Amino acid sequence: MKNFFLEYENASEYLLKSQNIIWNFYSKRARIIPSFFGIIGIIILYAGIKSGYDIANITSVGEYKDVTMYNYGITIGIGAALLFISLFLFNTYYQQKRKTKELFSFRIRSYQKQGDKLIYIINEDGISVENHDTKRHHNWQYYSSFKSKGDYIFIFSKFQDYRLPYEVIHLNPLDENLVLGLRALLKEKIQENV
């Protein structure tokens, strides 16, 4: 039976790196939608303003006959609404980031006070994670895939957001033979994302 015992002495530093990695996974896609709304809003707002309608001279003759007050107002309204949605989404993103960092800093202080050790036990049954106050175990059916990138192995869950890693394993302090055996076990149990 293959049994891998990974012990990280400085768990607070390990968790801080893991949290930053997970936040980077999240933030890459979390900024796409607000940026899209902002760009489309600016384009529509610009088109409304540059439509050539003169509010002071409301006529339907000459060069303004195809542009009505209704079209002008709707275009500017939609552009402004998309800009406000974009600003709201960016604001929500940064509030969420701030709250997550506060929660994580509380958790890291707890690790520093009570014993700064984190243990992963990876075997044929699944993955167990232990620290000074909690212990959790998930069977392999809980995990969907893994991805190796640089000095990290990212393990993804079937039941969490499939684009965010559920477990982040740092390979830096580990022996090369241990890393090769760990990757072989992971390939045997769950699919690898390339």
- Number of folded domains that form the chain: 2
Q: 136 and 107 in one domain?
A: no
Q: Say if residue 110 is in the same domain as residue 143.
A: no
The string of pLDDT tens digits covering residues 26-63 is 777 788 889 999 999 999 888 877 766 655 555 555 55
Say how far apart CA 75 and CA 78 lie, in whole Å: 5
Domain of residue 10, residue span: 1-28+117-194
**In this structure, are 136 and 125 located in the same domain?**
yes
Alpha-carbon torsion, ordered 64, 69, 75, 76, to 10 deg: 110
Of residues 5 and 10, which shows the higher confidence score?
5
Task: Say if residue 59 is in the same domain as residue 124.
Answer: no
Task: Tell whether 81 and 53 lie within a shared domain.
Answer: yes
pLDDT in tens, 119-174: 888 888 898 988 777 788 999 898 888 988 888 888 888 887 767 788 888 888 77
For residue 140, give the CATH number of its domain. Answer: 2.30.29
Q: What tokens appear for 101 in the block?
A: 């960092």
**Last residue in a domain, options 81, 115, 149:** 115
Task: Note whether 104 and 154 are same-domain residues.
Answer: no
